[in-house]
Amino acid sequence: MSHDRKRYGDTTLGNQEPSANEPAWLNELRASGREVHGRLGIPTPRHEDWKYTPLREVAETDWSPAEPGPALFEEPLPEFDSGAVRIVMVNGRLDRNLSNPGPLPGGLRIASIRDEIHSGNDAVLRSTLGRTGPKPTQTFDRQIVPDEHTFAALNDTLFEDGLVVYVAEGAKVDPLIEIVHVSHGGPEPSLVVPRILIVAEAGSRCKLVETYVTRGNGPSLTVPVTEVVVRTGADVEHVRLQDEDAGALHIANWQTAQESGSTYTSFNVCFGGRLARVDQGIWIGGAGTRTRLDGVVVANGDQHMDNHTRLDHAFPSGESFEIYKQIADDRAHVVFNGKIFVHQDAQKTDAKQTNQALLLAPGAVVDSKPQLEIFADDVKCTHGATVGQLEDLPLFYLRSRGMPRNRAEAVLVYAFAADVLEEITIEPVRKALEARLFEKLAVASR
């Protein structure tokens, strides 16, 4: 092994050897992760899917696996609802002291991935972990194949612990399930590998919020993988908030598999990080599903926020609605890439995708790429993308009521994004996110 400076384009992160103590299914998952990450490495801009994502720093830094974090944090961690089932993870590990699950409602089980594996209680993990992605299907002239995700593969090889949220068949879980993940950078650059699995069994219902923050001063790269399985007729509302510090690097993979008649309502809220990328995939693996995948992205300073979504309608009569609202100020760069595949069998699909971006400064950049590929003939699919500045008429309207121009602009920018947050039905989460949006945009100080 040479110890030369790492070179962008010729790098992988982590090279874990197989462990004799792990079950066979996990060895397989890790082996496949090693193969994929070893082959793809850290992508360069020459790779179409990574064209806009600047990964030089990721590739050239010597990352060490994050140590367990401190027992307590000076700055309080976010909390949306005091009545929630509250789970705190620090550097990928479930933290029992900071968590406060309370008495768990019937049908809800929360466990650490490490415990499940060590206790041999790993049937759910074995059958679902790493298996939530799209399945290949054949059209009349080509095959639609899953994407390979090099960072998800890295997570496969490295995760040591993580969280399993299991909602039993028919269980209606009323309290909010609140998952807070803290990346705590040490003096050395820390690689954090969180893993979360959520399984909602047939006919069950739950609401979750998954939040990523950073504490500590050291540099951190967080590479989370969240997998969600929404079985027949189940109903899951899932809010993901990435609110890490302005120096943090965050490259996430979020994959959901829906079965027939299920409902999955998701919100991807991106406020933090210096480089933040989320690849969200939803596999529609049954008929008659309802899906929402919305995004609110607010970037300023030198932030780079990059969101790639892929929705696979593989079965008939699925309804999906996707709206991404992105705001870029200062020198920020936001990227949206939204793929929708309507597979050959997915007749009567009704899919709507909208992507709107607001550019607030001459140095801000937006790249937007909707991509619909339709292989069924009886479907309704629409998409629209707009990039622009604030409109003249609403601005005049507010100013004519006495609001100074800068305040009126701030209110309209807020409204542009809050319009999506309004759709969140978990009221304490919606209110907290609206307040955080207000603060992020510094509406009050303008």
Partner 1 sequence: MLEIRDLHASVTEDGREILKGLNLRAQAGEVHAIMGPNGSGKSTLANVIAGRETYEVTQGDVLLDGESLVELDPEERAHKGVFLAFQYPVEIPGVSNTYFLRASVNALREARGEPEMGSAEFLKMMREKVKLLGLSDDMLQRSVNEGFSGGEKKRNEIFQMAVLEPRLCVLDETDSGLDIDALQVVANGVNALRTPDRAFVIVTHYQRLLNFIVPDFVHVLMNGRIVRSGGRELALELENQGYGWLEAEVAAGSQA
List residues binding partner 1 (CB under 8 A): 392-394, 396-405, 407-408, 411-412, 414-419, 421-422
| Comparison of 4 and 392: residue with beta carbon closer to partner 1 | 392
What is the smallest separation between the CB atom of 443 and partner 1, expressed in angstroms? 10
- How crowded is residue 444: how many other Cβ atoms within 10 Å of its Cβ? 9
Contact 157, 33 (CB under 8 A): yes
| Comparison of 364 and 421: residue with beta carbon closer to partner 1 | 421
| Comparison of 8 and 321: residue with beta carbon closer to partner 1 | 321
Place of tokens 């309802």: 290
Angle, helices 24-40 vs 150-158, to 10°: value is 140
CA distance 29 to 33: 6
What is the smallest separation between the CB atom of 419 and partner 1, expressed in angstroms? 4
| Comparison of 71 and 393: residue with beta carbon closer to partner 1 | 393
Q: Is 159 left (phi over 0), alpha (psi -120 to 50) or beta?
A: beta
What is the smallest separation between the CB atom of 322 and partner 1, expressed in angstroms? 17
What is the smallest separation between the CB atom of 400 and partner 1, expressed in angstroms? 5
CA distance 148 to 154: 11
What is the smallest separation between the CB atom of 413 and partner 1, expressed in angstroms? 10
How far the first Cα of the chain sits from its last, in Å, is: 54
| Comparison of 313 and 325: residue with beta carbon closer to partner 1 | 325
| Comparison of 385 and 412: residue with beta carbon closer to partner 1 | 412
CA distance 81 to 34: 39
Pairing between strand 249-258 and 93-100?
A: unpaired
What is the smallest separation between the CB atom of 408 and partner 1, expressed in angstroms? 8
Distance of CA 282 to the CA centre of its chain: 11
